[in-house]
Structures are given as C-alpha cells and as structure tokens.
C-alpha cells in the first residue's frame, strides 16, 4: 500500500493502553451530567465499588481517584511512607523505575532490587534483599511490567514480604481487570490500577484499595505529606455517605460502571481465561515466525507481549508498515527503543483481533526485511484456536 487509508480515527489501538474501548462504554460516558453530591451519583459510585471488588477478589473498598495510574502509585507511597521508613522497591522495568522515583521523594531510605529488562523478580532474591535491609517497612512491586511484558510472581513474593513483617504495594495497572489478581488471598496491602488498560475505560481514573494493616500504617504517617491523595480522607467520606473528598471524574465513572457491568456479564474467570488464551496465541505466532520474546520463559504477561526485532529488521519501517495497515503498536522505552515492539492484548481483544495483529505483524516484518513463508504466524494462531 502506498497511501495511508487508515486515519487516527480508524487505527486500532494495539498499544498496551490506552486500549480500544467498548462502544457501550463510550455511549455511557455520553450521558447528561448530574451533580456528584446527590443520591443518584452516590448510587453509581457504590455500584462501581461493588462491581469492582470481584475483579480483584477483595472485600476492601475501592477508591476511584481522578488521575492516571501513576496518581495511584503516588498515593500509595505518600500514604504509607514517612521520612524514617525504609522502602524496598522491586524493579524489572520502566514502571518499577517510576515507583523508585516516587519513593525517593518521600524517604531517603530507599533501596532497590532491580532486574535486567526481560527478567522476572525472583522470590529468593527478595528474601535476600530483605535480610540485607531488615528495617524495611514497605516493599513495592510491579505485577505486570508493561515495558518488558514480564508477569512477576506476586503471590510468592508476597509471602516473603509478609514473613518479614513488611507491607506490600502492588502496581497491578496492566494485570487487574484482565489477568488474575486476588488482593486479599495474596496479601496485597496496597493495590493500584488504572482505567485505560484491562478495565477498558479512557485514561483518567486511578483505582486504589488497601488492607487494614495498610490503613493502620497510614494512621501513623505524618499527615503533612500530601493533601489531594490523603486516602484516609477518601475512606472517611466514602464510609459516611459514598462521597468523595473532591469532585470525581463524573463521565469516566459513568464509563467505568458500564465497563464493570460488561466484565460482570462476561464473568471474571472467563475474562482471565480469554486474556491468557490471547496471549498464548499471539506468542505462538511469534515463535512460528522466528521472533524471540523479551520476557523470560515462564513469566510471560497475559496482557501484553514484547517481541525482539529479528536481526536485519528496520524498526521504523516495521512500525510504519503496522500503521499503514491501521494498527498502532508500541515500541520499546529507554534502552529497549528500537529493540522491541509491544502489542497489548487487553479488554476487547479476542481471536479476531489476534488474527488481525498477527497478519499485520507478518506484513510489517516482511516490509522491514524479515523473510518467512507468508501465513506462518496466522497458521499458528488458527491451529491454536
């Protein structure tokens, strides 16, 4: 193709968020606005709260902050960390690095356990890091590291953190709502996610929830740390009357309610199975095409896949060829720039979309200099369906 037929309006969002949004969610947001200090809105917020809980298997309340996912990360650190606290940040990619940056703003006693891009954080490494830093009060981790497409072993790490007597904060921004997250059973003390990933709502909402142990810690943290993200204030307002301390992102909340209804209709277990299957199908196509994955085997993300450009492939030509066929893929961040491309398989992505992704990837790889029998990747997907 020489001319670009697909425009920004019709190009499919294959990036790992913001993702394609279900038409019902778009329609729900296009609703007449009403006051948020009304019983009408309080009912909507409390329906969101109740529908959200089963998506992460928690009995705790969930708060919907007006901001992107990073606001939730900021809220976790600002509420749980005093200047005197030692925080161990586990990092295996760009988003783990972001939490390190946030943590440094709140304590000078920040320590990190970092892994090479593509590697997962291993529970035994966490054990050693905690032994070396026995005064640690909080451990943070990224469940699904979107920059490398690694799914870190959260339940196993959580056990070690709790044996040590520390709290665990988990960035579940690209796992929750698509992959399995069991907040209470796994012992996540502070949960963070965001609207524009597996929950399938436009960007602008951060989701947070926390355990009783985390709430107790918050009580003791100096309250002059932060105002806008004071979660005890959120909790107090919500428990009194399903209110929020500040004006909530009303239209996004309408969209969230619709998306959570869609998730309930699909069933969370079915949704998790679908995301896992789509990840598996896409990876099988990459293997068939002779494309290596960045993530270490056994720790593959179910919601995003990072693939290494084969030798001789021109990354710019590849990305442009994807766009020419109407697919917006993501590149690599930092040192992974021009080494990988990433496609998200979240929210509305089903077999039709994966077949489409793989067809486009085949086209783009051939345009960019990789040789193989056309249809090889698509064939692998079809065989796995």
In the complex, least distance from residue 192 CB atom to ligand PLP, rounded to whole angstroms: 8
Give the bridge partners for 328, in sequence order: 13
In the complex, least distance from residue 186 CB atom to ligand PLP, rounded to whole angstroms: 17
How far apart (Å, rounded) are the C-alpha atoms in residues 193 and 206? 6
Does 103 interact with ligand PLP (rule: CB under 6 A)?
no
φ and ψ at residue 312, rounded to 5 degrees: 85, -10
Does 68 interact with ligand PLP (rule: CB under 6 A)?
yes
Q: Which of 12, 13, 14, 17 binds ligand PLP (CB under 6 A)?
A: 17
Does 70 interact with ligand PLP (rule: CB under 6 A)?
yes
How far apart (Å, rounded) are the C-alpha atoms in residues 137 and 79? 13
Does 173 interact with ligand PLP (rule: CB under 6 A)?
yes
Q: What would the 3-class secondary structure string for 237-249 be?
A: HHHHHCCCCCCCC
Q: Which of 78, 142, 211, 302 binds ligand PLP (CB under 6 A)?
A: 142
Are 93 and 150 spatial neighbours (Cβ–Cβ below 8 Å)?
A: yes
Residue 7's contacts (CB-CB under 8 Å, 6 or more residues apart) are none
Total length of the chain: 385
Closer CB to ligand PLP, 69 or 248, in the complex: 69
Does 95 interact with ligand PLP (rule: CB under 6 A)?
yes
Does 347 interact with ligand PLP (rule: CB under 6 A)?
no
- Per-residue tokens: 283: 């990876």
In the complex, least distance from residue 320 CB atom to ligand PLP, rounded to whole angstroms: 23
**At 183, which helix (H) or strand (E)?**
helix 183-186
Q: Which long-range contacts (CB under 8 A, 24 or more apart) does 352-357 make?
A: 353/12, 353/278, 354/278, 354/281, 354/282, 354/285, 354/381, 355/381, 355/382, 356/12, 356/327, 357/14, 357/282, 357/327
Strands (E), 230-345: 304-308, 327-328, 330-331, 340-344
Does 171 interact with ligand PLP (rule: CB under 6 A)?
yes
> How many chain residues touch ligand PLP (CB under 6 A)?
11
Q: Which of 69, 76, 187, 255 binds ligand PLP (CB under 6 A)?
A: 69
Are 172 and 192 spatial neighbours (Cβ–Cβ below 8 Å)?
A: yes
In the complex, least distance from residue 69 CB atom to ligand PLP, rounded to whole angstroms: 3
For residues 211 to 250, the per-residue mask of contacts with ligand PLP, x marking binding by CB under 6 A and - elsewhere, is ----------------------------------------
Q: Give the binding range for ligand PLP (CB under 6 A) out of 65-73, 219-227, 271-279, 286-294.
A: 65-73
Closer CB to ligand PLP, 17 or 332, in the complex: 17
Closer CB to ligand PLP, 82 or 97, in the complex: 97
Q: How far apart, in Å, do the first and last CA atoms of the chain sit?
A: 29
Does 158 interact with ligand PLP (rule: CB under 6 A)?
no
Closer CB to ligand PLP, 282 or 363, in the complex: 282
Q: Which of 103, 174, 259, 302 binds ligand PLP (CB under 6 A)?
A: 174
How far apart (Å, rounded) are the C-alpha atoms in residues 134 and 200? 40
Which residues contact ligand PLP (rule: CB under 6 A)?
17, 68-70, 95, 142, 146, 171, 173-174, 194
């Amino acid at each position: 193709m020489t001319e670009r037929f697909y425009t920004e309006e019709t190009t499919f969002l294959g990036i790992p968020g913001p993702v394609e949004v279900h038409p019902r969610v778009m329609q729900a947001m296009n609703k007449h606005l009403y006051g948020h200090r009304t019983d009408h809105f309080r009912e909507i917020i409390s329906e969101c709260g109740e529908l959200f809980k089963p998506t992460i298997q928690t009995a705790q309340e969930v708060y919907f902050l007006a901001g992107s996912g990073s606001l939730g990360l900021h809220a976790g650190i600002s509420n749980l960390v005093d200047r005197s606290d030692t925080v161990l940040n586990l990092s295996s990619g760009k988003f783990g690095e972001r939490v390190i940056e946030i943590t440094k703003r709140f304590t000078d006693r920040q320590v990190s356990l970092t892994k090479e891009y593509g590697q997962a954080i291993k529970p035994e490494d966490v054990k050693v890091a905690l032994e070396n830093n026995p005064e640690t009060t909080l451990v943070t981790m990224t469940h699904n590291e979107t920059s490398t497409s690694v799914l870190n072993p959260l339940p196993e790490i959580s056990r070690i953190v709790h044996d040590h007597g520390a709290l665990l904060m988990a960035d579940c921004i690209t796992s929750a709502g698509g992959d399995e997250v069991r907040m209470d059973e796994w012992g996540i003390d502070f949960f963070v996610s965001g609207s524009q990933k597996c929950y399938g709502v436009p960007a602008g909402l951060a989701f947070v929830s926390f355990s009783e142990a985390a709430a107790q810690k918050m009580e003791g943290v100096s309250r002059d740390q932060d105002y806008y993200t004071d979660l005890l204030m959120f909790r107090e307002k919500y428990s009194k009357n399903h209110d929020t301390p500040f004006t909530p992102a009303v239209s996004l909340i309408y969209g969230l309610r619709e998306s959570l209804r869609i998730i309930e209709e699909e069933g969370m277990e079915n949704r998790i199975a679908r995301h896992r299957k789509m990840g598996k199908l896409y990876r099988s196509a990459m293997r068939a095409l002779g494309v290596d994955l960045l993530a270490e085997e056994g720790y593959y993300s179910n919601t995003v896949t990072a693939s290494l450009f084969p030798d001789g492939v021109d990354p710019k030509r590849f990305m442009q060829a994807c766009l020419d066929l109407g697919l917006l893929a993501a590149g690599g961040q930092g040192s992974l720039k021009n080494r990988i491309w990433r496609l998200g398989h979240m929210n509305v992505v089903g077999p039709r979309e994966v077949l489409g992704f793989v067809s486009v990837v085949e086209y783009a790889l051939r345009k960019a200099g990789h040789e193989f029998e056309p249809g090889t990747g698509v064939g692998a997907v079809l065989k796995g369906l």
